[in-house]
Structure 1
Amino acid sequence: MNRPFITLFALLAALSAQAAEPWSVERCMEYAAEHSHAVRLQQYDLDASRTERTRAIGAFLPEVYGSVGAQMNFGRAIDPETNTYTDVNTFYNGYGLQASLVVFDGLQRYNELRMARANVAMGRSALQAEKDAVRLRVYKACMDLLYCEGAVEHTQRKRDESRELLHQVEVMAEVGQKSEADVAQMRATLAADDYELTHMQSQTTKALLALKQQMNFPIADTLIVEKPAIDASLLPTDNAYNIYNVALTTNPRIAQAAGNVAAARYALRAARGAFLPKLSLSGGVSTSFYRNMDVGGHAPFGQQFKNNAGEYVTLSLSIPIFNRLGSVSSVRSRRIALDRARESLNYERSELQRIIAEAVADVENSAKEVQKMQDQVEADSLAAYLTTRKFEEGMASSIDVRTAAVTLLQSRVRLLQSQLTMMYNRQVLAYYEK
Structure 2
Amino acid sequence: MKRLYSMIFTLAVGLQLHAAEPWTVERCMQYAADHSHAVRQQRFALDNSRAAKTQAIGAFLPNVYGSVSGQMNFGRAIDPETNTYTDVSTLYNGYGLQASLIVFDGLQRYNELRMAKVNVAMGRSGVRVEKDDVALKVYKAYMDLVYCLGAIDQTTKKRDESRALLHQTEVMAEVGQKSDADVAQMRATLAADEYELTHMQSQTTKAQLALKQLMNFPADSTLNVVQPTFEHEAEQTIEESPAQISEYAAMANPRIVKAQQAVEAARFSLRAARGALLPTLSLSGGVSTSFYRNLDKGGHASFSQQFKNNAGEFIGLSLTIPIFNQLSTSSTIRRRKIALDQARENLEYEQSELHRVIIEAASDVENSTKEVAKMQEQVEADSLAAHLTTRKYEEGLASSIDVKTAAVTLLQSRVKLLQSQLTMAYNKKLLAYYKGEKLWTDQ
For the superposition of Structure 1 and Structure 2, which TM-score range results when normalised by the shorter chain? over 0.9
**Structure 1 match to 2:234:** 232
State whether residues 97 and 284 of structure 1, in contact with CA within 8 Å, keep that contact through their aligned partners in structure 2.
yes
Runs of 4+ in 1 over 3 A off after TM superposition: 2-15
The CA deviation at 1:158 is: 0.6
**Structure 2 match to 1:285:** 287
| Counterpart Cα distance in 1 of 2:235 and 2:116 | 48
Cα deviations across residues 303-354 of structure 1 (Å, max 9, x unaligned)?
A: 1111111111011111111111111111111111111111111111111111
| Counterpart Cα distance in 1 of 2:216 and 2:10 | 29
Cα deviations across residues 374-396 of structure 1 (Å, max 9, x unaligned)?
A: 11111111111111111112222
After superposition, where does 1:57-76 map in structure 2 within 5 Å?
Answer: 57-76=57-76
**Structure 2 match to 1:176:** 176
Residues 9 and 43 (structure 1), Cα distance of their counterparts in 2 relative to 1, 3 Å cut = closer
- List gaps (5 residues or longer) in structure 1: none
| Counterpart Cα distance in 1 of 2:354 and 2:186 | 53
Normalising to structure 2: TM-score of the pair?
A: 0.95
Residues 154 and 358 (structure 1), Cα distance of their counterparts in 2 relative to 1, 3 Å cut = same
| Counterpart Cα distance in 1 of 2:403 and 2:388 | 9
The CA deviation at 1:88 is: 2.0
| Counterpart Cα distance in 1 of 2:46 and 2:14 | 39
State whether residues 106 and 278 of structure 1, in contact with CA within 8 Å, keep that contact through their aligned partners in structure 2.
yes
Establish whether residue 45 from structure 1 lines up as the match of residue 45 from structure 2: yes
Residues 43 and 395 (structure 1), Cα distance of their counterparts in 2 relative to 1, 3 Å cut = same
**Structure 1 match to 2:85:** 85
| Counterpart Cα distance in 2 of 1:69 and 1:297 | 23
After superposition, where does 1:189-228 map in structure 2 within 5 Å?
Answer: 189-228=189-228
Normalising to structure 1: TM-score of the pair?
A: 0.97
Establish whether residue 370 from structure 1 lines up as the match of residue 368 from structure 2: no
Amino acid at match of 1:402: K
- List gaps (5 residues or longer) in structure 2: 437-443
Residues 145 and 69 (structure 1), Cα distance of their counterparts in 2 relative to 1, 3 Å cut = same
| Counterpart Cα distance in 1 of 2:160 and 2:252 | 51
Q: Secondary structure in 2 aligned to 1:143?
A: helix
State whether residues 236 and 364 of structure 1, in contact with CA within 8 Å, keep that contact through their aligned partners in structure 2.
no
Counterpart among 300, 304, 307 of residue 306 in structure 2: 304
Question: What is the root-mean-square deviation in Å for CA atoms of aligned residues?
Answer: 1.6
Amino acid at match of 2:129: A
Amino acid at match of 1:375: E
After superposition, where does 1:100-139 map in structure 2 within 5 Å?
Answer: 100-139=100-139
Amino acid at match of 1:351: E
Alignment length (residue pairs): 433
State whether residues 32 and 214 of structure 1, in contact with CA within 8 Å, keep that contact through their aligned partners in structure 2.
yes
**Structure 1 match to 2:350:** 348
| Counterpart Cα distance in 2 of 1:360 and 1:336 | 36
The CA deviation at 1:295 is: 2.1
Amino acid at match of 1:245: E
Amino acid at match of 1:395: L
Q: Secondary structure in 2 aligned to 1:167?
A: helix
**Structure 1 match to 2:424:** 422
| Counterpart Cα distance in 2 of 1:175 and 1:370 | 45
State whether residues 277 and 319 of structure 1, in contact with CA within 8 Å, keep that contact through their aligned partners in structure 2.
yes
The CA deviation at 1:6 is: 7.7
Establish whether residue 157 from structure 1 lines up as the match of residue 163 from structure 2: no
| Counterpart Cα distance in 2 of 1:96 and 1:236 | 74
**Structure 1 match to 2:441:** none
Counterpart among 384, 387, 392 of residue 386 in structure 2: 384
